[in-house]
Amino acid sequence: MNWQNYMLIASHFGMALQAVLFLPYYRIKPWHLVVVGIWTVHNDIIDYVYGMHPWVSPVLMPYIDTIGYFTFWLGLAAIAVVYFFNVRHHRYRLSLPR
């Protein structure tokens, strides 16, 4: 892997961290998660079942099925985190000025 691959990993990690830090400020309803869940699963099916995934280094191509499997579960885990910290009734609540 070269420096661009590591930069891509670091930038995606930063975006995920940013989403978690801003999570208390979001106002998400359960139907939002349903739509996002359908979209995420649909996207993963198109990417990894039909082979329309983004470019992957030839070194990683033998592992594309594993990458697809990990991507699928990572998407569902992200939705679960949003549900747990933002949607459920006993979530952390942040008072925002109106």
Residue pLDDT, tens place only, 22-72: 887 888 889 999 999 999 999 999 999 999 988 888 888 999 999 999 999
How confident is the model over 73-92, as a mean pLDDT?
A: 85
What is the structure's pLDDT at 11? 95
Count CB neighbours of 74 within 10 A.
13
pLDDT for 92: 65
Is pLDDT larger for residue 15 or for residue 94? 15
Give the per-residue pLDDT at 26. Answer: 83
pLDDT at 32: 94
d(CA 84, CA 94): 15
Q: Given this model, what pLDDT does residue 20 score?
A: 86
Report the C-alpha gap between 73 and 44 in whole angstroms: 10
Integer CA distances (angstroms), 90 to 21, 33, 80, 83, 94, in order? 18, 17, 14, 11, 12
What global pTM score does this model have?
Answer: 0.77
Amino acid at 77: A
